[in-house]
Amino acid sequence: MFVLEGVRLVADLLTSGATPVFVLYDPDQLATTDAGNALIDTLTHSAGAVYAASAEVIKAASDTTSPQGVVAVAHWPTWSAMTAPRLVVVCDHIQDPGNLGTIIRSSDAVGVDALYCSVGSVDAYAPKTVRASMGSLMRVPIFQDMAWDALARTLAPYRIYAADGGGQSVAYTQIDWRTPSVLIVGNEAHGLSTAARQLAQQTIHIPMRAGIESLNAAMAASIILFEAQRQQMKN
């Protein structure tokens, strides 16, 4: 199970069709905004266990310093194995929950079919990751704790590209993303692991002016993913 906080995240949870294990909400705080009032109406018709609570109870249950008046607990989404994917992301030991949440959010925006997190990556359902994803983790199929041998078997039919600034990499705009493709995003501090390099068929980079070493992992992933979407939409 995992925890969601805030009006938008809880509303997205309910919109997804999931039934929360339970929801705590402060009716006085939610009633101060239109979105909060709409959520109160949704909660009163929810099939889950919904409880009105004081601001003190909400604060005690919250992971944030300024709670928005609602906290929910939900079961992890369950996803079937992907069939005929168009675009897949692999996170290679991504450690920062904000980065992973942003990658999930960008993956949702471009319609990524599956996102795999290697063993050693941060928990996709940790509170900070959940907040950074802005509800997208309810829509993107996420598979965690993936061993590289399992990834190699799963991704064998597809073209696999790994974001990397050195070696024999080519610019990401030179890749034909119209064919089913996989993008591997490496660790923030150490880049691609040996296993990721061995799995990738081609390394790619984002051209930058001299003196700039690299981009944030989530920013780089987002730039590449939106180029893939641009090509696929044009096709």
Determine the angle formed by the axes of helices 217-234 and 97-110, rounding to 10 degrees.
10
pLDDT (0 to 100) of residue 63:
84
Alpha-carbon distances, residue 43 vs 21, 95, 230 (angstroms): 13, 34, 38
DSSP characters over 171-201:
EGGGS-TTS-EEEEE-BTTTBS-HHHHHH-S
The one-letter amino acid at 212 = I
What does the alpha-carbon distance between residue 92 and residue 227 come to, in Å, rounded to a whole number? 20
What does the alpha-carbon distance between residue 114 and residue 85 come to, in Å, rounded to a whole number? 8
pLDDT (0 to 100) of residue 27:
93
22-25 and 87-91 as β-strands: parallel, antiparallel, unpaired? unpaired
Alpha-helix residue ranges (DSSP H) falling in the chain: 7-15, 27-30, 34-44, 55-61, 97-110, 127-133, 148-155, 194-199, 217-234
What does the alpha-carbon distance between residue 182 and residue 151 come to, in Å, rounded to a whole number? 11
Kindly compute the dihedral angle of the four CA atoms of residues 94, 97, 98, 99, in this order, to the nearest 10 degrees: 10
Chain segment 36-45, per-residue pLDDT in tens = 999 999 888 8
What pTM does this model have?
A: 0.88
What does the alpha-carbon distance between residue 110 and residue 155 come to, in Å, rounded to a whole number? 20
Q: Which domains does the chain have, with CATH numbers?
A: 2-74 (3.30.1330.30), 87-234 (3.40.1280.10)
Per-residue pLDDT of the chain (235 residues; tens, 9 = 90+): 888 898 998 988 888 877 888 999 999 999 999 999 999 998 888 767 999 999 999 999 888 888 889 999 988 878 877 777 899 999 999 999 999 999 999 999 999 999 999 999 999 999 999 999 988 988 999 999 999 999 999 998 899 999 987 667 899 999 999 999 999 999 988 889 999 999 999 999 998 887 677 788 999 999 999 999 999 988 6
Alpha-carbon distances, residue 25 vs 33, 37, 60, 64, 65 (angstroms): 14, 11, 12, 15, 16
pLDDT (0 to 100) of residue 141:
93
The one-letter amino acid at 232 = Q
What does the alpha-carbon distance between residue 119 and residue 197 come to, in Å, rounded to a whole number? 15
List CB contacts of 55: < 8 A, sequence separation 6 or more.
Answer: 26, 28, 29, 67, 69
Say if CB 118 and CB 151 are below 8 A apart.
yes
